[in-house]
Amino acid sequence: MHSELIVSTYNNPRSLALCLDSVAMQRVMPDGICIADDGSGPETRAVIDAFAARHPDLALRHLWHEDRGFEKAAILNKAIASSPAELLVFIDGDVMIHPDFVARHLRLTRPGRFSTGSLIRLDAEATASVTPEMVRSGLVFDRGWLRRNRAIRKLSTWLKTRPFPVPVMAALDLVSPVRRALCGANASVWRSDLLAVNGYDETIKYGGEDKHLGVRLNNAGVRGRHLRFSAPLVHLDHPRGYADPDRMRRHKAMIRAARKSGEARTPNGIVKDGEGGRADA
């Protein structure tokens, strides 16, 4: 099974550098890493080049398109279409992943079954305090540090830190009542399943693109599995100036409509209906 970690990013080079530091600490590495770049400037390119120079053994590719506003769905579709891998693991470039993160996804995800997890969120002050050394030492996953930095405020968040052995946390994953909605910052899907639903709907900008994909995967018979408590991931805070309430209302309506209609394939995905071509080209 060939795997690729797809990291989406846009003009947040500091967070991306911390994210990639956490990727380098994985106990099981993916076969490849793709930086899916939604139009970032040269500072992001410099971060990627520096990471590649420090880790020449890692198969790394940088996929970029021109900045046309928030078009994460479009760059992810390009990453999916061009990937040589069978299994794709997705994270955002503003997260730090636990050393067992990739291994957990590779262990569970199969054709007809996507895996998805959750986030432990840092506030702006805690985010500003994070250093590369803290990522490499694992301090950012330490429950004491997270509690002191206001990231653990309730039981469910404490459980996301994986306080018990993996078999216990895996059992909690199975009984969690939370809807298995796809979280694009913590997900893995078989590439053939993504091609079958034509990837992301590119008419959805910020707000709901991942959930819409997850609903369509469900409609196609691809069921979700939780890694809510067994694949820890810490999210770095950042502004969201691209959020548009009107678009978000539209996208929520699209998600409801997809659930109701049973729609699986989007006409506005990897292949645009009417333009020809193949999703697996």
Is 36 within a domain? yes
Domain count, the chain: 1
Please give the average per-residue pLDDT across 125-139, as a whole number. Answer: 98
Is 152 within a domain? yes
Is 177 within a domain? yes
Distance of alpha carbon 32 from alpha carbon 238, whole angstroms: 27
Is 112 within a domain? yes
Angle at 227 between CA 221 and CA 229, to 5 degrees: 150
Is 33 within a domain? yes
Please give the average per-residue pLDDT across 199-221, as a whole number. Answer: 92
Is 46 within a domain? yes
What residues make up the domain containing 247?
3-261
What CATH code is carried by the domain that includes residue 189? 3.90.550.10
**pLDDT value at position 281?**
38
Is 61 within a domain? yes
What is the pLDDT confidence band of residue 181, given thresholds at 50, 70 and 90?
Answer: confident
Mean pLDDT, rounded, of the chain: 93
Contact 116, 181 (CB under 8 A): yes
What are the strands, taking DSSP E only, across 110-252? 113-116, 120-121, 187-190, 223-226, 233-235
Is 226 within a domain? yes
**pLDDT value at position 273?**
84
139-143, 194-198, 204-208: range with lowest mean pLDDT: 204-208
**pLDDT value at position 207?**
74
Please give the average per-residue pLDDT across 88-97, as a whole number. Answer: 98
Which residue's entry shows tokens 């469910």? 156
Residue 278 has pLDDT above 50, yes or no: no
